[in-house]
Structure 1
């Protein structure tokens, strides 16, 4: 039997999945996660994955097609992953792995296609809105960076339109947010900042530093130590963002709570900006690792208040369905769907 391969290739983790035409989205043939940093290239990971799959299945397998979502820009079938120093070329990879049909797509494009595969249990609705059949769908996702995109219906199915909206200029809504942008510019020696500088894991830490240095809120000694270690050695120390959000959820640290409230409000406001640009009455989906891991904070009303608060056109936003994606494999689902079509 011929199989198809799907992958979600990131700087930290590579997740691969094997399916055949009779597989279902919830019942793959074989799935395995690999540490990306432990391998010199993607060829070694896929080769090891195929060998492990053959051992488990007790038979030789032939892969007819593959689609791999890459955490980097894909241009003319090639991509470079700076965190791994990997150069990936679709034609070269197909030849090395002897896969006749192989396609590389951006990881956020894969998430876009994965959205169309989600079941109701895979997301939580923040705003029911008034959904319309075949209307545009928008996606936004904060994690290491900030991804944005949208889907349009071509009369048969949805097509993903990737964007680089995360790198658009950050727009402050208040004096405090303007001071935040000035603070980050001074700290990073920049002349402008993008949305990604504040709406991302790094953005959480930047907001924390800003409030620490400009407000009267005192620091938790344990968290202060984590942040100081990260400031002195960001490449090797533990990222403080997770600790900040955990203390905010536990409501045990006023500075962490203020940090996350500001972050979630900024996230909701930018999601609302994306909604104004695309009018996604098919739904706006909040993906990325931060939203699902901080669902109590995303769902407490702060996000939606900022999302809907758009002055004279606020009524347009209240009719847009807003969902938080809970399935961490949404990108892999999109790659599966694309691999099956090759």
Structure 2
């Protein structure tokens, strides 16, 4: 079988596997069985005459040949989808930008940037989605995102080890803060001493982000009173007096009433970078305009 015989379905499935990181997740996203996904990948590998995926205990990883195929697959699938839109009389999508973002960026930065972009360039359509850093990076590599907002903590390593390296632009670098109820004893001052964080009740994230919300490096087992994936839920739990949580400084402007956001002194600085990531290729004009809007929103926050 020659690679030119590869089916469009197999290319779509392979791109989904590359983005999701596991056969199981790709199958769930596509509504297929895992065995059907495996068959499509196997057919594509036969057509390519080489392995495209490295199966590991924690999922799959693209081989060098797999990177070539997923890059080309993204282009083919996008062109076919554009043709389908044109035949249906729909916009061709050339003015569309696909943006991924981590959870807290959606609370303030992303809406501000999109509102500004609509005022200056109303013809540009932006499609967004939230995701974890690994998921957003895979989506960039798979060609299903054009830009991604990522958060990074010291020692600020690259988000993945693949080649070519992603192009990373630092938008801001600010300290991590704590959000406390306005009636909490810690809210009486303008700063919090790290020693006063011992023995507090914390509102943390869920799943892989369980530690998000607890101050890093505490030399005790923290008491996690509540877990929530959504930042607004965590902040409203703080407002209700249910505990305290960590927040990036950029969320200060969107906290609900009854919450104070305070810097922490007395320990190692906990800096957080907000980065705009993309593949190292020229941006389309709509993507460049969105990048400009994100930079301006980050600067003005």
- TM-score normalised over the length of structure 2: 0.35
